Structure 1
């Protein structure tokens, strides 16, 4: 896909979406019209058969004339018009539809010099990056919904001299290839983090996650606290109760995922139509939503099988956690949150930090949903301070 998207980059993709919705409306109305016409014709034919079998009615009947023929002809015409509308709407929908993108093309565009893969189970080829000071403390980074390892590049660039940094693409994301019937879930993703750590030889590590990746990190911490040196939650999902996503979140990609019809069309169409608005809301700083960023998000979402997994994962039930589950996390925890987050409100971060014993909370007044990308210097400064205190505590022990 070219980096210059031209006419697709209209404000919030309103016109492409409007055209798609108009086509969909015509399509479904045509189906209703066709069904109605078919039922009407069937009812009249059935009535004629009954009338023909009734001796009294047959005796008083007149031969079919022009009016009857006009009636039949009118219904046939209505049916033909409905079929024509369906054909036209189908053509319009097809014009908007897009193909899936093969992984070799995506790897050529978005693979990194530090990219690696491993196969923890048959058919699941996990893409991850591994870089930095291998002899130092290991930090494993887990991205959010519809994102990829690229979400962590600002942190990696600022930390690689002092830490070993491993970032992975979860199934249905980035360059990770999964079987067509793969069922993603929070617990399964958490188990995958453990398998990656074992594959990379990281016995204990710092685990950091953003958004959905924060929920994955929480799930891992609740099951395997002995493997963690610390936990870092960046605008993390997982707090029980209403979140910004459940209240609707921003329009665009996330809004469509929350809508049944929208979910259907996301399997058919180029997600560039929906990505612009959601990305601007998530990044908060619109200057960060460049053509290249939009293209990357859209391209990777259209990898073979990705949209099926994304939609399957989106339909998973909420985590069954209670505040008591957070109180049972006994590892050092840093909670970060942008106060302007339109997806997961800062109140969730405050609640998580209050529930986890000893957790450190840092909020960013001008931060959105992705502060590690929007405010990399500030977030890395606070992360370093947290890890330095952790190192100091270890030396005292």
Structure 2
């Protein structure tokens, strides 16, 4: 029971995509992995795009009807926009879907002087959202670190957020069971520094029942992952530093500030952020729905993409029919 854990830490979504695709014969593991990811984006109905915003070049995937309500998907620590591909495949049939590579992740180009803190990441998401012109009635979804960012973003810009999805979200919890987030001294285990580390992260921490991933794909994603090691070390250090000043009350205040309906999804076998945290979230949300998935670890968007997608689409459909409580009142006749 952690009385003072301030981490809007987020913990990895470090799992490679496992969609079954017919990949060309490529000897380089990185090139093979990138080829498969591109195929998977197309399978999900997504296109790869970039946008220049100040000193950033944000990489993102986009798909679905342009005039439909917008869903922004935010990945976790050491992950990428591709972690959402399986869920996005269901969403693009009805919604405009945008999946972003956060600063220090994926293909986004970040200024070398960027300071990796939760506040800066949230503000970077804001810059991307406003540059894209998607801030009005935004549906935002976050996994792990992306969940912590989504809470902060939705608390700050509550007039514009239509709904929130939190999946095994990072936060500052008084009780997260015996999970890794309660052991700050061991958080360095979430970084892959040498060959073999990435597979250990996937099998020991990120998933409960790890899927089969061919060796070549595992090697390719590990190399892609390790290219970002310097940025990930800065981010981990920045988030860990916040443990010196935040308490669970800080995170709870953010949750209580959320005005939009929230869907909370959690794997009951999450070894990184224990499912016990859900009870704490329940006590602080004004409008929450909850889905606990049995025998699922930290990455439900990969381990249980079908139930997550089905629940999220039903939630989104319901939310779109609800009146906007912040819309101007109709003038009396």
TM-score, scaled relative to structure 2: 0.76
- Kindly tell me the number of residue pairs found equivalent between the two proteins: 280
Q: 1:293 to 1:215 in 2, by over 3 A?
A: farther
Q: 1:288 to 1:351 in 2, by over 3 A?
A: farther
298, 311, 327: which is aligned to 2:222? Answer: 298
Q: Which residue of 2 aligns with 1:217?
A: 150
Higher relative contact order (CA 8 A, sep 6+): 2
Q: Which residue of 2 aligns with 1:37?
A: none
Q: Which runs of 5+ in 1 are unaligned?
A: 1-102, 258-262
Alpha-carbon displacement from aligned partner over 1:8-54 (angstroms, at most 9, x marks no partner): xxxxxxxxxxxxxxxxxxxxxxxxxxxxxxxxxxxxxxxxxxxxxxx
Report the CA distance between 1:169 and its aligned residue. Answer: 0.8
Distance in 1, matches of 2:323 and 2:207, equals 36
Aligned-residue RMSD, C-alpha = 2.8
Aligned 8 A contact 1:338 1:371 in 2: yes
| Poorly superposed stretches of 4+, deviation over 6 Å | 103-109
Report the CA distance between 1:331 and its aligned residue. Answer: 1.0
Distance in 2, matches of 1:205 and 1:294, equals 34
250, 253, 256: which is aligned to 2:189? Answer: 256
Q: 1:290 to 1:233 in 2, by over 3 A?
A: farther
SS at match of 2:139: strand
Aligned 8 A contact 1:132 1:161 in 2: yes
Aligned 8 A contact 1:232 1:333 in 2: yes
Q: Which residue of 2 aligns with 1:323?
A: 252
Q: Which runs of 5+ in 2 are unaligned?
A: 1-29, 328-333
161, 164, 172: which is aligned to 1:231? Answer: 164
Does structure 1 residue 349 correspond to structure 2 residue 278?
yes
Q: Which residue of 2 aligns with 1:310?
A: 232
Distance in 2, matches of 1:186 and 1:225, equals 18
163, 181, 184: which is aligned to 1:246? Answer: 181
Distance in 2, matches of 1:130 and 1:183, equals 27
SS at match of 2:182: coil
Aligned 8 A contact 1:182 1:309 in 2: no
Report the CA distance between 1:216 and its aligned residue. Answer: 0.7
SS at match of 1:393: coil
Q: Which residue of 2 aligns with 1:277?
A: 200
Report the CA distance between 1:370 and its aligned residue. Answer: 0.7
Aligned 8 A contact 2:101 2:107 in 1: yes
56, 63, 85: which is aligned to 1:153? Answer: 85
Please identify the structure whose Cα radius of gyration is greater.
1
Q: List aligned pairs for 1:12-51, cutoff 5 A.
A: none
100, 106, 111: which is aligned to 1:168? Answer: 100
Q: Give the helix-richer structure, 1 or 2.
A: 1
Distance in 2, matches of 1:141 and 1:282, equals 19
Distance in 2, matches of 1:350 and 1:290, equals 37
Q: Which residue of 2 aligns with 1:57?
A: none
SS at match of 2:224: helix
TM-score, scaled relative to structure 1: 0.64
Aligned 8 A contact 1:288 1:374 in 2: no
Q: 1:289 to 1:344 in 2, by over 3 A?
A: farther
Alpha-carbon displacement from aligned partner over 1:193-216 (angstroms, at most 9, x marks no partner): 222222222132100000011001
Distance in 1, matches of 2:220 and 2:67, equals 32
Does structure 1 residue 141 correspond to structure 2 residue 63?
no
Distance in 2, matches of 1:239 and 1:361, equals 19
Aligned 8 A contact 1:139 1:206 in 2: yes
Distance in 2, matches of 1:159 and 1:207, equals 13
Aligned 8 A contact 1:140 1:205 in 2: yes
